[in-house]
Structure 1
Amino acid sequence: MPASQDVVVPKWVSFTEKWHNKPYKTISPKRPELSAAGKNVIVTGGGTGIGKAAAIAFAQAGAKSVSILGRRLDRLEASKEAILAQAANPSEIQVLYEVADLRKREEVDAAFSSIVAKVGKLDILVNNAGAMAPPTPALKYAAESFSVMFETNVTTTLHATQAFVSSAGSTPILINISASLVHIQPMGGMAAYTASKAAQLKLIEYLGAENPQLHTVNLHPGVVATEIGGPGSDLIGQDEVELPGQACVWLASEEAKFLKSKFVWANWDAEELVNRRKSIQSSRLLTVGLDGVEM
């Protein structure tokens, strides 16, 4: 891997007046309005970080089942224990895990088939699995390493979504953990990761357009301390990991139905978004495109 470079952190600009760095009442999974009762939820990359936080949040919201996928058995086992410990109904919820490399379609299919055999049709997918390479100037990046980012962030998304839709009920919901880098000004050294997440974003757009029954939302999770960030990043730990975890529950609820096919940040205030739902739903607000050109 080529030598890395420092990342220049931008000044964040918010779509809402309020800006959140930690969980708050409106997105609390304990709100009755956000209940996930009867829902079968699956989270990729659910052994650590944002995926683990999302899995816990859905368990707190009373989901029928929460299933997590990942490559490391020890992380999945620990995550399962944490999910059960914080579940609203620990004696009733099914918490499952499957070891799978999401880059390999046969392992993904086997994992989903095993889960569906135990819980039935799936309702919600949190697509969280991914990776970030050390910051490196694009001109110094090895093509092979560049390709790894696409395999890890795009191919995994394709495999997981294909398996999910074929195993889902009539109104499937896909919450995709995206990144602000796909729409903000370039940050030096982040070309590989950003290019792969931009490709992932367009993939999600096409999956939603080609499958109208599929409710998709892209979520920038904030800046949290996770294993994906790697060493030496100035972006580590500005936000609590529970913020995006609980945001996923809110985004999967009836309150957030108006955000279908939109891109949102976990830091933005959910109540303010609801108050602007008419303008958001009836326009290209919160979508990624070419400024000044409506098409």
Structure 2
Amino acid sequence: MSLPGLKTLHKKPYHAIYPTRPELSQEGRTILITGGNSGIGFPIARSFVISKAKRGLKDYWIQVDTLVLSAASLGKNKPLLEAGRDEVWGDFETNTRAIIDFTTRFYGQEAQGIETRKALISLSTCVTYMRYYATDRPSYGIKKLAGTDYLQQLALEVSPKKMQISIFHPGIIFNELAAASGMDDTTYPWDDENLPGNFAVWAASHEAEFIHGPLVWAAWDVEELKTRIEDGVKKNPRFLMAGIKGLSTSVDGI
């Protein structure tokens, strides 16, 4: 799905987000990626390595410069009431509570006297607002929406100069999770896994400061996106943020 006003949708990496660009270099920075050994987290980790991020996190544990929240639970393939309280709440632990926990600890490094430019990257999903894509897993969109809404509220409270928050839908990626669900390379017109991988590196750079808060897609062209977001925010400060469709943000007439 494209954002009105954008002409270009990408299915594979392109020059503006190449991790080899000097402007996107992560040299000297330490990156922590949850779920970085599998799924979409793995190509993200690979892209950060290409961009010269530090290796051997255990040797640099006192300082994490970029946090990538990639780990997620897809939820149970059941109606909500059939899944029950404990199963539904268990997935909230991964998709919501873990986001709050990691984010709080990440930002809290400042209290330890560690003052570097922090970048927080969160993999969200279009299912937060396009629920018909996951009707078989109704709890998934609910929990991803909660985590996304938390980070978007935080972006209103924290300057990107202190902690830049980028939230994006990675695309439709074929990986081991998709294969385990019975899909194959012909099920969907899959996106290149390196698209979200490269996009995450770009999202950690100064160039991405303008997407601090809004939910964007890795497929959207970043050069076109800048103008579109700036125009949208002028009209509505909560442009591309969580809300209730059909209701105005205006208080006129109340």
TM-score range, shorter chain: 0.7 to 0.9
Find the aligned partners of 2:107 and 2:137 in 1 and give their Cα distance.
31
Instruction: Work out whether residues 258 and 280 of structure 1, in 8 Å CA contact, stay in contact via their aligned partners in 2.
Output: no
Structure 1: segments with no counterpart, 5+ residues: 1-11, 66-93, 97-114
C-alpha separation between the residues in 2 aligned to 1:271 and 1:211?
Answer: 25
Whether 1:245 and 2:197 are equivalent positions in the alignment is yes
Structure 1 pair 62–127 and aligned structure 2 pair: CA distance change class (3 A): same
**Quick check: 1:132–1:228 contact (8 Å CA) kept in 2?**
no
**Comparing both structures, which one devotes a greater share of its residues to strand?**
1
Aligned-partner residue type, residue 243 of structure 2: G
- Answer yes or no: is 1:226 the counterpart of 2:172: no
Q: What amino acid does structure 1 have at the position aligned with 2:75?
A: A
Q: Quick one: which of 187, 201, 207 aligns to 1:255? A: 207
- Amino acid paired to 1:186: Y
Using the alignment, how far apart are the partners of 1:178 and 1:145 within structure 2?
Answer: 21
**When the two structures are superposed, what TM-score results if normalisation uses the length of structure 2?**
0.82
1:54 matched to which residue of 2? 44
Q: Which residue of 2 aligns with 1:75?
A: none
Q: Which position in structure 1 is the counterpart of 2:153?
A: 206
Corresponding residue for residue 180 of structure 1 = 126
Q: For the residues of structure 1 that align with 2:129 and 2:216, how far apart are their CA atoms?
A: 11
> 1-side partners of 2:227 and 2:154: how far apart?
28
- Pairing 1:166–2:108 present: yes
- Could you tell me how far apart the structure 2 residues matched to 1:58 and 1:26 are? 15
What is the identity, as a one-letter code, of the residue corresponding to 1:255?
E
Shift of 1:120: 4.5
Deviations 1:158-213 (A, max 9, x none): 22212211236343111100010112253422311111101111221233344433
Per mean C-alpha deviation after superposition, the further-off stretch among 281-290 and 227-236 is: 227-236
How many Å apart are 1:281 and its aligned residue? 4.6
Shift >4 Å, 4+ stretches? 233-237
Give me the CA root mean square deviation.
2.4
CA contact (8 A) 2:2 2:9 kept: no
Residue 230 (structure 2) pairs with residue 272 (structure 1): no
Write out aligned runs for 1:61-100 (5 A). 61-63=51-53, 65=54, 94-96=55-57
Write the deviation string for residues 63-91 of structure 1: whole angstroms up to 9, x where unpaired. 2x1xxxxxxxxxxxxxxxxxxxxxxxxxx
CA contact (8 A) 2:152 2:241 kept: no
Q: From the superposition, tell whether residues 137 and 237 of structure 1 become closer, same or farther in structure 2 (CA, over 3 Å).
A: farther
Deviations 1:209-266 (A, max 9, x none): 4443322121101011234444145976711211111101111112211111111001
Q: Distance in 1 between matches of 2:64 and 2:131?
A: 37
Instruction: Name the counterpart of 2:140.
Output: 193
Aligned residues: 236
Q: Distance in 1 between matches of 2:76 and 2:83?
A: 11
3-state SS in 1 of match to 2:121: strand
Task: State the shift of 1:278 in Å.
Answer: 2.7
In structure 1, the residue matched to 2:60 is 118
Between stretches 139-148 and 171-180, larger displacement belongs to 139-148
In structure 2, do the counterparts of structure 1 residues 48 and 236 end up closer, same or farther at CA, with 3 Å as the change threshold? Answer: farther
Aligned to 1:215: 164
Partner of 1:288, secondary structure, is: coil
Asked if 2 retains the 8 angstrom alpha-carbon contact of 1:218 and 1:264, the reply is yes
Between the aligned partners of 1:123 and 1:61, the Cα distance in structure 2 is: 14
| CA 1:182–1:25: 2 relative to 1, 3 Å | same
Provide the secondary structure at the position in 2 that maps to 1:245: helix
Task: Provide the secondary structure at the position in 2 that maps to 1:219.
Answer: strand
Structure 1: distance between partners of 2:195 and 2:14: 8
Moved more, 242-251 or 154-163: 154-163
